[in-house]
Amino acid sequence: MRDVIVIGGGLAGAAAALRLADAGKTVTLIEARGRLGGRTYSRAGAGTVDMLEFGGGWITDWHARMKAHAARFGMDLRATLPVAARRWHDGQTLRTDTPVEPAQMPAWTDAMASIQAESLAMKGGGGRWQGDNPWRAMSFAAYMQAKALPEAVRREFIAWWTISGSGDITRVNVLDALHSAAHCGGTLQAMLEELSHTIEGGVGTLVARMVAGSGAEVILGDAVVEVTDRGDHVTLRLSSGAEAMARHVIVAVPVNAVGTMRFDPPLRPAQARLAAERHQGRALKMLLRVAGVQPGTLVTGEAEGLRLMFAERQLSDGSTLVIGFGLYDEVPDTSHAAMARAVQAFFPEGQLLSHDWHDWIRDPWSAGTWVSHGLGQSPLFAATEWARKGRLHFATSDIAARESGWFEGAVISGEEAAEAILDGRT
Ligand SMILES: Cc1cc2nc3c(=O)[nH]c(=O)nc-3n(C[C@H](O)[C@H](O)[C@H](O)COP(=O)(O)OP(=O)(O)OC[C@H]3O[C@@H](n4cnc5c(N)ncnc54)[C@H](O)[C@@H]3O)c2cc1C
């Protein structure tokens, strides 16, 4: 019998397997997909040989664990280009000087300053849900209404929402966006400034190297469908019909995929409720290979449902990689023609060569993007609800005690689950 089975080969599972193996435990890792990486997914695409990030890509300056793992497995960091040119699109006109007409600038500046003040007030307050923050129970849409934000500021805020809260604006708590902005200067653009690095060769490659480095036995392409805690060990049933057993199990799957398994004894009520309700992260990340666009250009606005585009870097064929973000439910048409129109609106000087993306929402092993907290859902993510249960431990960025939603949170939560086993707290 193995010491530990890790269910899920994303960053949380990889970090857990590595920590356990470093401590001499025997580990099997079972992954439903035919590849490791989970919501990191690095591969060539969009007609280029360059490694692109279909899932998460950026790390921040303070993500020390991610930096340490990259260094351990021989992967270099690539600094994100600073924003060299800024544009705003109001649905009709592309502006390159000021976000709005000069006459509207005072109202814009006031509204932005008040968002910034609220964002900064969250800093050091012990996290999103602590304290008596007045916006705790308010949706992003209700917040914008309560503050009577001018239309142009709403449009701008929603553009940044696609890389922060990222779900239905009427159902997701505004704190996700304010919290994201708080990290740097508290401005909306600070959200991009904090994305300081990517990993050369891809984060997915790093995950594969971490798993290989752990020496864990790996089963790919077979999902766990049943988890039974028998008191002194745990048995698993896989979709192939195979069975596996171990002294401990770490369930390292997204909360939106917990429902793919049946648990005996059943999950705690809060876990079961969150597994059924799911977190609300529904972003769409589009990779656009474009000719004639200067890397470092950032555009916010709205075109074909895409609300933020950043010309991230030059590719090896001389074209530019533009990363586009939108809300999944606002981008019904992802055809070449629609994406070419979006590029045309934001970059009239450019031409779309090809594009590519991954549908994380329809993918049953993620059923969402990064964690986003629906109204009233914050208690369901409480650490106590996801603490070990018998011989089961839970790990994923979605429920991480710190840096949830980020790669770093996945690593923290995977390592903490492994430590709990090593400490004998079972
Ligand atoms: C489009 C997008 C952009 C993002 N951008 C960033 C970013 O720039 N920076 C950042 O830090 N984070 C970003 N993130 C978030 C980051 O990718 C995730 O928080 C992190 O990778 C999650 O890791 P995890 O191990 O917790 O979960 P996952 O990576 O989802 O891994 C869970 C694994 O469990 C497997 N699984 C599920 N069910 C079963 C089952 N029944 N049996 C066996 N295996 C199962 C899944 O296939 C998956 O491989 C982004 C995410 C997305 C989708």
The pLDDT value recorded for residue 134 is: 65
How much is the average pLDDT of 188-192?
Answer: 90
Residue 173: closest CA among 205, 130, 139:
139
Residue 50: closest CA among 384, 353, 421, 413:
353
CATH 3.40.50.1100: does it fit domain 2-40+202-279+364-422?
no
The span from the CA of 152 to the CA of 99, in Å, is: 8
How many other C-beta atoms are found inside a 10 Å radius of the C-beta of residue 222?
Answer: 17
How much is the average pLDDT of 282-308?
Answer: 97
Residue 388: closest CA among 344, 351, 425, 352:
425
- Minimum-distance ligand 1 atom for the alpha carbon of 11: 25
How much is the average pLDDT of 259-285?
Answer: 97
* Position 179 confidence tier, pLDDT thresholds 50, 70, 90: confident
pLDDT higher than 70, residue 46 = yes
Cα torsion for 143, 146, 151, 155, to the nearest 10°? 0
The pLDDT value recorded for residue 329 is: 97
Sign of torsion over alpha carbons 43, 48, 53, 55: negative
What's the 33 CA to ligand 1 centre distance in angstroms?
A: 12
| Cis, peptide link before residue 265, omega less than 30° from 0 | yes
Contact at 8 Å (CB) between 162 and 308?
Answer: yes
Query: Looking at per-residue confidence, does 312 or 402 come out higher?
Result: 312
Which residue's CA is the closest to the ligand 1 atom numbered 12? 406
* Position 74 confidence tier, pLDDT thresholds 50, 70, 90: very high
Q: Render pLDDT for 301-317 as a digit per residue (tens, 0 to 9).
A: 999 999 999 999 999 99
- What kind and span of H or E run contains 17? helix 11-22
pLDDT higher than 50, residue 426 = no
The pLDDT value recorded for residue 250 is: 98
DSSP of 60-118: -TT-HHHHHHHHHTT--EEEPPP--EEEEE-SS-EESS-SS-GGGHHHHHHHHHHHHHH
Which mutation among 166, 222, 258, 365 tests ligand 1's pocket best, with the greatest number of atoms within 8 A of CB?
365
Contact at 8 Å (CB) between 121 and 135?
Answer: no
Q: What is the pTM of this model?
A: 0.96
Q: Render pLDDT for 133-143 as a digit per residue (tens, 0 to 9).
A: 666 788 999 99
Which mutation among 11, 39, 199, 406 tests ligand 1's pocket best, with the greatest number of atoms within 8 A of CB?
39
Q: Render pLDDT for 111-134 as a digit per residue (tens, 0 to 9).
A: 999 999 988 887 765 555 555 566
Query: Looking at per-residue confidence, does 95 or 182 come out higher?
Result: 95
- Minimum-distance ligand 1 atom for the alpha carbon of 409: 19
The span from the CA of 166 to the CA of 281, in Å, is: 6
Chain region(s) in the chain for CATH 3.50.50.60: 2-40+202-279+364-422
- Domain range 103-191, CATH architecture: Orthogonal Bundle (1.10)
Residues 6+ apart with CB under 8 A from 113: none
